[in-house]
Chain A
Amino acid sequence: MMNLSPETLQKIEQVIPHYPVKRSAVLPLLHFVQEERGFISDEAIEWIAAKLEIQPVNVYELVTFYPMLRRKPIGRRHIRVCRTLSCALMGGYRTCAEFQRQFNTGLGGISPDGEVTVEFVECLASCGTAPVVMIDDELHEKVDAARARALAQEIRAAARPEGAR
């Protein structure tokens, strides 16, 4: 059984009646579950399907379609670098390479220290302040390689317990 937090369960109960047809709530439910659990498990798919009275495959087909939904955990922090034209023209690939170097990691996986997942994503609709990066839910603008190093530093600093090196 899914043991979702009372807050998540409350959000779920609130959102379902927004729609005249229950199935419409599947994307919001997937978001809520992923926000709490970090990814969408088999169990979550079954649970959401039952909750909305649809087939598990109707949930699964969304998880496999939408880029933001994932089947596996990611690092503690999520670094999404925009790959699309305006950002690339301003050095987005360099920014991404710098994040990868900082955390000694490839694209998509979890860095060896478990801290981050670095990903390329498509246009984040902030092309005028390129290159842009989202760290978790927060947008960072004009992130050149130097700024990427500084942000990596902040992430590492925040990860260490008080007083530790």
Chain B
Amino acid sequence: MPAPEQHRLVFRQIDEPGYSNDLACYLRNGGYEVLRKAVRRRPEELVDEVKKSGLRGRGGAGFPCGVKWSLLDRKSGKPVYLIVNADESEPGTFKDRYIIYRDPHQLIEGIMITCFANKVEQTFIYIRGEFPDGAKILERAIAEARAANFVGPSILGTGYGCEIYVHRGAGAYICGEETGLIESLEGKRPYPRIKPPYFPAVLGLYQCPTIVNNVETICHVKHIADMGGEAFSKIGTPNNTGTRILCVSGHVQRPGYYEFDVGKLTMGQLLNEVCGGPLPGRKFKAVIPGGTSAKVLKFGERYKGRRKVGAEMVEYDWGVEDIPMDFDSLAMVGSMGGSGGVIVMDDSVSMVEALGNINAFYSHESCGQCTPCREGSLWMKRITARMVHGDARPEDGALLKSVADQIAGRTICAFGEACAWPTQSFVGKFGDEFKAYSQEKGGPRPDAAPELV
């Protein structure tokens, strides 16, 4: 079956010739019209639209956005904050970058609709330190929007006011985790908080109820307010509604960002048609479907089970190529949609070395609060580094797995899972390669196979 057409909702404008990131251009293209209409509605109606839309968070966990908003603790009487998560730190993910750099006003319009709907009066955009120009672009866009009364003390003359400030991170992955982010914004080390009790919706920034949403999620809110929750829920597939941006990197002919109806496209269509297939003379070997934290999928393996299609339960028997790119299908095959970062590896790649690269990342980024995560990520890195640069032993795979198995479920935040899953899935699916590595590593290397650790 041929791949469906891209459906660009959030990325509708960014590649249009002549489209620029200033307010005048945004207004010429119908910008802020949705906000104008939204502020004439009751805030509760807007929250209902988002609930009806079925929108799931695009930052990693895929939590329903409308449900998140309705968990806000209103009884406390404390101010409610919105934090936009623009940390974009999950390796393989690069969508928020393009929204921020090329279409910042779309994000600001989404923020203002979200704030109006939730009666928020203060927003912080937490942007990674590695986007210095992005922070400047956002600051300029906010100033333009404030001058035009889209942001500030009385938005569009309604008497409702909301400010947006940009807060820059300084290079730590853990600031993407929402409670680590909150600590960072409070001026502390970004040590994630323990949940319960520190659910942001109840005890978030400055112990006030706080919404944390990803940049792309907030942009979808604008489109929901525009077309209505009902219409949005008809895009995509049931429980996986709307469009989603997929970021493809690694060994394909055409890496890049693509926006599709969620679940209407399979992995095979994405990689073979949309991205042009493998590099000349190579074959796909493995793919990580949702950022490095997601479990790896191996080409050639089969996934079987029963799933719901409409009202019926049907059998499925999929190869990697057949998996629909949605949250539920990727969870069914034992991985996750995560942040939408699809990383492709072909047959030139040694899985031991690829895991070594990933382990180096997690060991560098563990915040160090929990012993299993701090020590475990370090040991997994050391073992894979020794396998590559020192002597590899046939039992190293089992050793790696035994370390990983002791992390997940025993830590304060989901980084514990994020650092254990790559090792568990790489060793689980490519165990033979780990066993044979000691013999094979001195042997001939595939052409142009680059160093990974």
A interface residues, Cβ below 8 angstroms from B: 18-21, 23-28, 30-31, 52, 54, 58, 61-62, 65-69, 83-86, 88-94, 121-130, 134, 137-138
Tell whether B97 is near chain A: CB-to-CB under 8 Å. yes
Can you name 19 extra interface pairs (CB under 8 A) apart from A24-B186, A125-B88, A127-B250?
A21-B187, A23-B188, A28-B168, A67-B170, A68-B129, A68-B170, A83-B361, A86-B249, A89-B249, A89-B251, A93-B452, A122-B364, A123-B361, A125-B93, A127-B93, A128-B94, A128-B247, A128-B248, A128-B255
Contact status B130-A121, CB under 8 Å: yes
B367 smallest CB distance to A (angstroms): 8
Show 26 residue pairs from A and B whose CB-CB distance is below 8 angstroms, ordered by the A residue: A27-B184, A28-B168, A31-B129, A31-B170, A62-B170, A65-B172, A68-B130, A84-B361, A85-B358, A85-B452, A86-B91, A86-B250, A88-B453, A89-B345, A91-B450, A93-B450, A122-B173, A123-B89, A125-B88, A125-B97, A125-B131, A126-B97, A127-B94, A128-B248, A128-B256, A130-B255
Contact status B184-A94, CB under 8 Å: no
B217 smallest CB distance to A (angstroms): 17
Contact status B172-A67, CB under 8 Å: yes
A128 CA to B172 CA, complexed, in Å: 21
Contact status A125-B452, CB under 8 Å: no
A124 CA to B96 CA, complexed, in Å: 12
A137 CA to B131 CA, complexed, in Å: 8
A62 CA to B188 CA, complexed, in Å: 7
B55 smallest CB distance to A (angstroms): 23
Q: A127 — nearest CB in chain B belongs to which residue?
A: B249
A165 CA to B409 CA, complexed, in Å: 61
Contact status B452-A65, CB under 8 Å: no
* Residues of A close to B256: CB separation below 8 A: 128
Known: A89-B345, A123-B89. Contact between A27 and B170, CB under 8 A?
Answer: yes
Known: A68-B129, A85-B343, A126-B97. Contact between A27 and B360, CB under 8 A?
Answer: no
* Residues of A close to B189: CB separation below 8 A: 61-62, 65
Q: Within B145-182, which residues are at the interface with A (CB < 8 Å)?
A: 165, 167-173
* Residues of A close to B173: CB separation below 8 A: 122
Binary interface encoding of chain B residues 96-122 relative to chain A, with 1 for a CB under 8 A from any of its CBs, else 0: 110000000000000000000000000
Q: How many residues of B are in contact with the other chain, CB < 8 A?
A: 55
Contact status B249-A128, CB under 8 Å: yes
* Residues of A close to B130: CB separation below 8 A: 68, 121, 124-125, 134
A130 CA to B173 CA, complexed, in Å: 19
B353 smallest CB distance to A (angstroms): 9
A19 CA to B129 CA, complexed, in Å: 19
A123 smallest CB distance to B (angstroms): 4
* Residues of B close to A85: CB separation below 8 A: 91-92, 250, 292, 343, 354, 357-358, 361, 452
* Residues of B close to A94: CB separation below 8 A: 450-451
B257 smallest CB distance to A (angstroms): 6
**Taking each of B184, B450, B452, which has the highest tally of chain A beta carbons within 10 Å of its own beta carbon?**
B450
Contact status A89-B170, CB under 8 Å: no
A35 smallest CB distance to B (angstroms): 9
* Residues of B close to A84: CB separation below 8 A: 91, 292, 357, 361
